[in-house]
Amino acid sequence: FGPLCSMLTGTAVVLVGAGAASAVAAGAGTYGMYRHKKKQKQNKERHRQMILKMESQWEPLCNGDYVDSSLYPRVSSDIFDEESITLPSVTSFGMGLTEENKLSGDIIQMFISAFDSNGRHVETIMHNKKRSSDLPGVRHSGYHSKPREERIYSGMPDKQNIVLTSKNLPAEVDSLMVGYVITTEARLVNAYVTMFKGKDADRQMEGNDDPALVRYVLDAEECGSCNSYIMGIVQRSGDKWVYNPIRAALVAKNVEDLVPRMQQYVLPSLRISPDEYSINFTAKNGNVETVWLAYDRFGYRRYLKEEEFSDAMTIDDMVTCDSICKIVVVTINRTGSPYDDLKLKLLDEAEGKEEKFTLKPAAIQVACVLLANKPRVNLSFPPRPENSLWSLIPYSEPILGGELDNDSIAAAVEAKFVPFTANRIIVTLHSGENLQFVAQPVEGQSPRKAKKSDKKSEKKNAKVEPMVSILFNDIKINSNVMKRNANPEWNQVFEIPLEPDWQIKESIVSFKVKDRASKGVIGECGYCIKTLDVPFNGSLLLDNKESKINFSIDVIEHKEKLKVPVGAPSTPRAEEKE
């Protein structure tokens, strides 16, 4: 593998192609296959040992009640202290950007999406559609390149505003979702979203005196590296409208990608355990045909299966591997006559309770979506499926225009429900702390030998030259060498390809810290991208219990696949910072 290096904002970036497997396959004869199998065995053992080493550090990272693992990397904010807000008759939502954000209204779209009581999408108002006869009472102000002197906005110079006049909303509208999406790879700097009374606040913001009802700063803690954000939901409550915060950072290509995600907040849903619930589809005029499509947390399809329902089946039968975290169920009618009284039935086998949902008689529709509430924690090796709570959301949403082949069905489902398919892991190696050799105590060792071991470590530490090898599956990349520095700052970014079968091979990004001067290993640690939060920004201790590295991990979708230069070395290094 060779580096495809570029200097971006003073940071070295290494692009690494995954070609080890193909290179082995191209090797000649039985010896090449033997080496390939030996390498696989070594990787599995390294994976197993890393799980044992890191279990105590991973456990605190997995203690959340809810981790959204369903294709959308996200961060969450602590909103438990926030209360519902009853809105005035006229309410405005705003978004502010500093001049360093070179984003026009076409690139960053603030929006309000309306839904009826059944969760059906009614209309979306945004910069490209400032008004609509389907949604009177909502108006987008456009993009303010410069604030007008007579305007106060939210008390700060908003760049976009949406005005909501609740009395003019149609009777069918039951809820509205507010947010934004950026349609380029640009990142926000010093931005905010806000909600305030009227078309202008009653005063300018001064210090901590904020005239807005709510204001969220869109920093790395709030949004991570995500390009879209759902601020909150406005819901009808009798003759009033009430705002509740959501503050969910997501990944999406456009507003349309967010519609199924927003529907999860307005559609009825059930928390179920797959091994305790059975599912059935019934119609008065025959058996119901279905297609099941399962996806992992980064958007890769794990299977496509056809099932004809004449009797109930346990949902656990369709959770065939531990990486699956989203299942889309499509009902199909190939007979030409519509299903009569089509229903989705869920049976709690432990308590004998049954839930029924009436579905549309459409020839082809997404009947429901199953979402894993959290990824599996600290899996043993080799991984085995584990039961955890899932959410079932009945959509009953028609798709396609008549094409009933599986390829067309998969394309339609993925366009609407799987907008994000990660194909690169972004590893940012920030710095190291106390990267030195630590003499490990040996049981039964004499004081004399222990003292000699300590002196040997001290001698190595005086000339330590740390470098980090990052390993994932068959890929190994090296950082720069930092001469005689036990607390180095690398600030290097590495891009590693994420292949569709990534979780079959390995799911841990490993960091092995070595000393180039003595050629010894200082220690290692790892981060599991299958079970832990992505994106992640933090630190982990090495297995010597005293050294630490600070790093970030994220995944992205990129149009171009990483390529491997012909004849490139197997362990590329980053270029020095200029």
Q: Does the pLDDT at position 329 exceed 60?
A: yes
pLDDT, tens digit, for every residue of 423-465? Answer: 889 999 999 999 888 766 566 666 766 666 666 666 676 788 9
Question: Which residue from 281, 288, 293, 373 is spatially nearest to 329, judged by alpha carbons?
Answer: 293
Q: What is the pLDDT of residue 450?
A: 65
Angle 174-175-177 (CA atoms, 0-180°, nearest 5)? 160
For residue 334, give the CATH number of its domain: 2.60.60
Question: Which residue from 467, 460, 472, 476 is spatially nearest to 432, judged by alpha carbons?
Answer: 467
What percentage of the chain exceeds 90 in pLDDT? 34
Which of 394, 417, 440 terminates a domain? The answer is 417
Is 518 a domain residue?
yes
Does 239 lie in the same domain as 142?
yes
**Residue 64 banded pLDDT, cuts 50, 70, 90:** very low
Measure the CA–CA gap between 79 and 41, rounded to whole angstroms.
Answer: 46
Domain assignment of residue 507, given as a range? 6-69+424-556
The SS3 of residue 40 is helix
Is 246 a domain residue?
yes
Region 103-119 average pLDDT: 86
Place of tokens 């000393």: 515
Span of 3-7, 128-132, 442-446 with lowest mean pLDDT: 3-7
Does 274 lie in the same domain as 405?
yes
Does 89 lie in the same domain as 31?
no
Q: Does the pLDDT at position 74 exceed 60?
A: no
Which of 200, 222, 250 terminates a domain? The answer is 250
Question: Which residue from 495, 426, 506, 512 is spatially nearest to 472, judged by alpha carbons?
Answer: 506
Q: Does the pLDDT at position 22 exceed 70?
A: no
Highest mean pLDDT among 159-173, 208-222, 359-373, 412-426 belongs to 159-173
Tell me how long the chain is: 578
pLDDT, tens digit, for every residue of 222-252? Answer: 777 778 889 999 999 999 999 999 888 887 8
Is 220 a domain residue?
yes
Does 181 lie in the same domain as 94?
yes
**What tokens were used for 66?**
């809810």
Q: Does the pLDDT at position 65 exceed 90?
A: no
Q: What is the pLDDT of residue 62?
A: 63
Measure the CA–CA gap between 197 and 429, rounded to whole angstroms.
Answer: 44
Is 42 a domain residue?
yes
Taking residue 73's Cβ as centre, other Cβ atoms within 10 Å add up to 25
**Could you tell me the CA-to-CA distances from 464 to 215, 309, 486, 516 in Å, in that order?**
48, 66, 7, 8
Residue 82: beta bridge partners?
A: none
Would you give the distance in Å from CA 296 to the centre of its chain? 11
pLDDT, tens digit, for every residue of 535-570? Answer: 788 899 999 888 999 999 988 887 776 654 333 333
For residue 29, give the CATH number of its domain: 2.60.40.150
Residue type for 226, please?
C
Q: Quick one: three-class SS letters along 539-565?
A: EEECCCCCCEEEEEEEEECCCCCCCCC
pLDDT, tens digit, for every residue of 490-535? Answer: 999 999 988 887 776 778 899 999 998 888 899 999 998 877 777 7
Does 552 lie in the same domain as 433?
yes
Measure the CA–CA gap between 174 and 266, rounded to whole angstroms.
Answer: 9
Is 564 a domain residue?
no
Is 569 a domain residue?
no
Does 202 lie in the same domain as 320?
no
Does 138 lie in the same domain as 60?
no
pLDDT, tens digit, for every residue of 332-358? Answer: 988 878 889 999 999 998 888 899 999
Is 78 a domain residue?
no
Q: Does the pLDDT at position 138 exceed 80?
A: yes
Does 433 lie in the same domain as 412?
no
pTM summary value: 0.76
Does 451 lie in the same domain as 368?
no
Which of 250, 282, 316 terminates a domain? The answer is 250
Domain count, the chain: 3
Q: Does the pLDDT at position 11 exceed 80?
A: no
Region 251-264 average pLDDT: 84
Rounded (10°) CA dihedral 244, 249, 254, 255: -10
Q: Does the pLDDT at position 575 exceed 70?
A: no
The SS3 of residue 97 is coil
The SS3 of residue 24 is helix
Strands 489-497 and 11-15: parallel
Q: Find the DSSP H helices in 224-336.
A: 255-266
Q: Is 29 left (phi over 0), alpha (psi -120 to 50) or beta?
A: left
Q: What is the pLDDT of residue 183?
A: 79
Is 319 a domain residue?
yes
Measure the CA–CA gap between 77 and 69, rounded to whole angstroms.
Answer: 16
Does 486 lie in the same domain as 453?
yes
For residue 226, give the CATH number of its domain: 2.60.60.30
Q: What is the pLDDT of residue 548?
A: 94
Span of 134-148, 310-324, 372-386 with lowest mean pLDDT: 372-386
Does 408 lie in the same domain as 488?
no
Average pLDDT score, the chain: 80
Does 388 lie in the same domain as 470?
no
Q: What is the pLDDT of residue 178?
A: 96
Q: Does the pLDDT at position 4 exceed 90?
A: no
